[in-house]
Each structure stands twice: as structure tokens, then as C-alpha cells.
């Protein structure tokens, strides 16, 4: 009987995980819709097309940064959900907020792509970084809903793992806030901080994967 209950719970977190994965996968794929096909009207020579494609280099940068940021966030999501065996309503809606902000990334990425070389670039970069502030806040809320109800964790989760994640998550909101403020001084600084953050997380997540693989 107990194993049956356990199985039902497995399915419970499983379905939430699968739904979240679906949203991550769709949001990450929709990023590519920001890669615009140039419409050149009269002169559509190889040279004109090449110039038009080169001119939209900011969309490639934004696409790349957003893709890997969402990918790293998905890995992190994964890392948290690997630790739990139950869901709560609070967790469900904190996760919902997190997903909602993730679906907005293609929008903020498109905004940054379009305004990167226009006068409004700084505001666009602030909106771009600001979206990540809210996503980081979503992670914080998800994590807090777990810390406040530890019975959601699997019994086998080591306290050290929980402490590590608590520490890592603390960085997200303030650093993205910094990137948002930086945007009003330099678009490059802002996007640079966002990029540095996913590179850092990608580098550190190695431990996570190693942990799992053991």
C-alpha cells in the first residue's frame, strides 16, 4: 500500500516536472522566432542580404544569451525538483510565476534585439535584465516554499545540498538587479553581467550533475 502512495506522489511531482519542462522547451524554441528574415524589396543581392544579416548581430547575441540562460535555468529547475517528492499549492504557484516569467523571455529578447542599436537600447536592456530579476525571484519563491515545508523533500536529501542551493539562490536576484541598474549606464555591461551569470552557473552546475551521477 505504501509503495502505491509513493508511486502516486512520484507521478504527482512527475507531472508538474513534465509540465514545467514543456514550458521551458517551448519558450526556449520560441526564442528563434526573433531571428528575422530580412525583407529587402528591390535590391536583394548576396551583398545586400549579407549586410542585412550582419546588421542584426544583436539578435544573434541576444538569442545565444537567452538560450543558454533558459537552459541553465532548466538545469537548475531540474536540480531542485530532483530533491522533492511532494508538491504543495504554494510550490505550484511559485513555480507558475517562475514559468510565466520564463515565457516572457522571448519577448524581452526580441525587445533587446530590436532596440540594441537604437536610442532606446538602455531601457530595452533594463527590461531584459528585469525579466531575469523576476525569474530569479520566482526561483527564490519556489525554494522558500520548500524550506518552509521540509516534508516535501525526499528524506535522503543531504542538508549540505540544501544549504548549497540556499546560498547559490541568494545571488540571483541581487546580481540581476545590478544588471538592470547597469543597463541605464551601459547596455554592454548589462548584457555582459547576464552572460557572466549563466556561464558561472553552467560552470558550477557541474558539481550538481556529478552529485546526481554518483
Q: Which of residues 144-163 bind a copy of itself (CB under 8 A)?
A: 152
**Minimum separation from the CB atom of position 98 to a copy of itself (A):** 11
- The C-alpha cell of 105 is what? 523571455
Contact in structure between 129 and 193 (CB atoms under 8 Å):
yes
Q: Which positions from 76 through 115 interact with a copy of itself, judged by CB under 8 A?
A: 78, 82, 86-89, 92-93, 96, 99-100, 103-104, 106-107, 110-111, 114-115
Q: How far is the CB of 100 from a copy of itself (least distance, A)?
A: 5
Residues of span 44-73 touching a copy of itself by CB under 8 A: 44-46, 48-50, 53, 63-64, 67-68, 71
Residue 167: count other Cβ atoms within 10 Å of its Cβ.
9
First-to-final CA distance of the chain: 30
Q: Is 186 in the site for a copy of itself (CB under 8 A)?
A: no
Which CB, 107 or 169, lies closer to a copy of itself? 107
Asked if residue 189 binds a copy of itself (CB under 8 A), the reply is no
Binding mask 194-213 for a copy of itself (x = CB under 8 A): --------xx-xx-xxx-xx
Contact between 38 and 112 under an 8 Å Cβ cutoff? The reply is: no
Of 74-82, 136-144, 160-168, 185-193, the segment contacting a copy of itself by CB under 8 A is 74-82
For the bound state, the minimum distance from the C-beta of residue 23 to a copy of itself, rounded and expressed in Å, comes to 5
Q: Which is nearer to a copy of itself, 39 or 150 (CB)?
A: 39
Amino acid at each position: 500500500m505504501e509503495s502505491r502512495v509513493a508511486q502516486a506522489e512520484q507521478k504527482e511531482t512527475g507531472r508538474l516536472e513534465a509540465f514545467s519542462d514543456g514550458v521551458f522547451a517551448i519558450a526556449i524554441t520560441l526564442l528563434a522566432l526573433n531571428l528575422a528574415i530580412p525583407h529587402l524589396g528591390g535590391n536583394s543581392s548576396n551583398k545586400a542580404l549579407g549586410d542585412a544579416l550582419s546588421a542584426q548581430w544583436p539578435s544573434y547575441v541576444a538569442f545565444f544569451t537567452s538560450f543558454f540562460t533558459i537552459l541553465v535555468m532548466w538545469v537548475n529547475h531540474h536540480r531542485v525538483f530532483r530533491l522533492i517528492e511532494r508538491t504543495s499549492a504554494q510550490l505550484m504557484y511559485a513555480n507558475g510565476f517562475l514559468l510565466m516569467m520564463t515565457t516572457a523571455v522571448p519577448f524581452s529578447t526580441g525587445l533587446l534585439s530590436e532596440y540594441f542599436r537604437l536610442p532606446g537600447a538602455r531601457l530595452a536592456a533594463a527590461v531584459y535584465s528585469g525579466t531575469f530579476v523576476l525569474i530569479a525571484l520566482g526561483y527564490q519563491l519556489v525554494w522558500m516554499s520548500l524550506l518552509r515545508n521540509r516534508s516535501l523533500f525526499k528524506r535522503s536529501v543531504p542538508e549540505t545540498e540544501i544549504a548549497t542551493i540556499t546560498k547559490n539562490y541568494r545571488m540571483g536576484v541581487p546580481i540581476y538587479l545590478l544588471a538592470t541598474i547597469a543597463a541605464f549606464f551601459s547596455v554592454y555591461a548589462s548584457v555582459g553581467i547576464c552572460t557572466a551569470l549563466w556561464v558561472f552557473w553552467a560552470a558550477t552546475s557541474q558539481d550538481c550533475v556529478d552529485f546526481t551521477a554518483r
